[in-house]
Amino acid sequence: MSEETVVTPLPYSDVLPGAVLAEETDLDGTSLVVAADKLPELARHLRDVEGLDLLSNLTAVDYFGYKGRTAEDRFEVVYHLFSTEKGGGPTVLRVRLPENNPVLPTLVDVYRGADLQEREAYDLFGIRFLGHPALRRILLWEGFHGHPMRKDWQEPYYEAESKPFKSRHPDGNYAWAEDRNPWGSNVQYPDGFDPLTWQEPVSQIPLQSHAGNGASGMLKTDRLIVNMGPQHPSTHGVFRMIVELEGETIMALEPEMGYLHRNHEKIGERNTYLMNMPYTDRLDYISSMSNNLAYAIAVEKLLGEEYAPTERAEYIRVIMAELTRIVNHLFSVGTFLNDLGAFFTPLLYAVRERELILDMFEAVSGSRMMCNYLRFGGVARDLPDGWLEQCKDLVFKRLPGKIEELTTYLTGNEILQERCIGVGYLSPQDAINLSCTGPQLRGSGVAYDIRRAEPYSIYDRFEFDIAAFNGCDVYSRFLVRMEEMRQSVRILEQALKQIPEGPIQSPKGQGSYVVRPPVGTVYGRIESPKGELGFYLVSDGSGNPFRYRVRPPSYINLNALGPMSIGNKVADCVIILGGIDIVLGEVDR
Amino acid sequence: MSKAGDFVKGAGQIAGAMGVTLKHLTKKPLTVEYPDEPAAVFPRYRGRHMLRRYDAAPGAELGLERCIGCCLCEAACPTGAILVEAAENDPADPHSPGERYAKTYEVNLLRCVFCGDCEEACPTEAVVLTQAFPVPEQDRRSFILVKDQLLEPPESNIVIRPEQ
Ligand code: SF4
Ligand code: SF4
């Protein structure tokens, strides 16, 4: 390089010298390599001065065996920061950590929403976050040996690094995995761990100082710890809330999850890129088309221009994504009413409309819930004849009336208002700080919708309003969902009118079963019905993703469950949870 | 508002809600009593697999098998549910028009997630997902469909809807 090269100073070197070590260019923008000890300071500066108030994605990558990486920078913790005010793309921070001592300071003090994601990174990668208030395993239990997302960790039924697994068919026969590794020798415990004498650690819920024993001045009551779940009808799956009560008032609440954990991300690394498509259906199984869309968008970013979807495919995708949003909100509103005690009648009214939309999905993709419909560069098959007419009938004639019917009987309902208004208060600042997205965030009055903030696909062509209500309570979240259904119908009306004829697959994407994207990383995200659904992918140039990370909205929205519930009655934590709208397939992955 | 006003308003709301309920009394239910009544599925529905044959030549009872034992479906399957073993065709009595055919073809329905990727990968349109619902079985072995079973069109109590 010649000597005249102007050395541009590294970003933020004037305010925090030495914080940013390098600036790197990646497939989808630049990122900053940050010194671990300066990270909280830099994050605070970015939050307060630069307005990057939303820590959306926090994850780790194990670069073991990656070209150009050594033991010195084996681990990397990646942060994606966004601004809810200005919108736009992410500011990406990377912290590189050595193999022998992967420790860095926590960001919980700056962004409280880092809590669950840091625990997950600790659980799956063994990266320790100094200063985290309760750095314990979250998806796995304490008797689990090792950190499964590390590249050198192998499961007891380990078969091969990537599919197809030849070991499944030795000598042309099926082999059941458990026969190969009989019961009893497939479990390893950490050193010094004895499953027979092990006791679950006493919950570490911090006691709230503002309300002591009998503080109400009325009856003297003892504090009581109650486990709600894992088998509890209100938890929408296998999910546990450890609730500390005084009388009926919640003093502290801690979510406990992982019962459905299957290490989706490790499975994703063993799959080829396309093989992951049916797996994404099973994350949030109420809205599989949205999951497909988020994954396809991330991989298309990785693959580049040639795989850009065709016009018709884009329209089909938007139609499917918005139908999915209606399906999801119908279901979420219905089950929410169940939680309120309106047992199943409203749900069945909602589910009836959902059935009709699922019929549309079945006609197109061949499956009602596990659609597996999108492909890189387009969609799997064109719409069948007459589908558009049917869909127009549904969207123009039936759905608006049905949504209004639900509104008439629910929104103004006195019992619903009594139970919901003022319950589960979450201020806008807290909602952002706790990394909430989706209806949870917009129910606190923050009009942040990725379809507007960082438009993907062709959402910039449609007219619609962001549904936001500033009651900051469960009722507002309910209203957001009702309003979003109306807005989805609006988008659908436009898309169904404008959809052009043409190919449904980019020429390059046609029949490409094995894609080998260039080396690099991307983060693709969409506004899924539950919030920001993102996929963070690291490619090493092979046919399998090197790292496949899902940013699950319902998992991260659970950050707010504890803060929202404190001070409410125990019966209300059921509807607060219902208001978050979680799906355990996505929470536990 | 007065007590009487409350009462009237409440009664009105209840009557309205009951009206919606009663309106549905006269409507036909959306559910069907499967398996006594046939379930309606769309032509693209992804159900149990089948291996297709070509149309029978004049005089012959059965057509040739489409499958040429190329193993592409096995490679495309995300769950490792398919097993194909290929063998050379006997030119005097071929199983398939190509040089090779599938000696063994098995689908493990316990692993299969009915994603349809095998169907998409097949170059000869041999393996397809029919609209039939897979039947429950008593033991795990029976969930492995072997080639003879796959060559038979499956039976299921379904009606196929017109494409809209
Ligand atoms: S449908 Fe999917 S999972 Fe089942 S055998 Fe075919 S490729 Fe495999
Ligand atoms: S079914 Fe199709 S893809 Fe599979 S081995 Fe036969 S010809 Fe190949």
Look at A30 and A550; give whichever has higher pLDDT: A550
Distance from CA of A436 to the nearest CA of B (A): 32
Give Cα A281 to chain centroid, integer Å: 13
pLDDT tens digits, A415-463 = 888 888 888 888 899 899 999 999 989 999 888 989 888 888 888 888 8
Domains, in order of start, for chain A: 20-130 (3.30.460.80), 264-588 (1.10.645.10)
Distance from CA of A561 to the nearest CA of B (A): 33
Q: How much of chain A exceeds pLDDT 90, in percent?
A: 17
SS3 A216: coil
Complex ipTM, two decimals? 0.80
pLDDT tens digits, A338-388 = 888 888 888 888 888 898 899 899 989 888 889 889 988 888 888 888 888
Global pTM exceeds 0.90: no
Answer whether A518's CB lies under 8 Å from A273's CB. Answer: no
Give the residue whose CA is nearest to atom 3 of ligand 2: B122
| CATH (one of 3.40.1030.10, 3.40.50.150, 3.10.20.30, 3.30.70.3270) for B39-160 | 3.30.70.3270
Count of positions (residues) in chain B: 164
Look at B96 and B44; give whichever has higher pLDDT: B44
Look at A70 and A177; give whichever has higher pLDDT: A70
Q: Which of A168, A370, A405 sits opposite B113 (nearest CB)?
A: A370
Q: How far apart are the first and last CA of chain A?
A: 48
Both structure tokens of B6: 């409350």
User: Pocket residues for ligand 2 (CB within 6 Å)?
Assistant: B 67-73, 84, 102, 121-122, 124, 126-127
pLDDT tens digits, A329-339 = 999 998 888 88
Q: Which ligand is nearest to the CA of B125?
A: 2
User: What is the rounded distance in angstroms from the CA atom of residue A451 to the CA atom of residue A466?
Assistant: 9
Residue B106 to residue A174, Cβ atoms within 8 A: yes
Sequence-ordered list of residues with C-beta below 8 angstroms from that of A35, at least 6 positions apart, any chain: A18, A19, A20, A21, A95
The pLDDT of residue B162 is above 80: no
Determine whether B39 is exposed, middle or buried from the number of CB atoms within 10 Å of its CB (0-12, 13-18, 19+).
middle
CA A204 vs CA A253, A295, A573: distances in Å: 10, 36, 19
- The structural domains of chain B, with segments of one domain joined by +, span 1-29, 39-160
Report which of A93, A133, A97, A91 is spatially closest to residue A116, judged by C-alpha positions: A133
Strand order in the sheet with B82-88: B82-88, B100-108, B144-145
A390 interfaces chain B, CB cutoff of 8 Å: yes
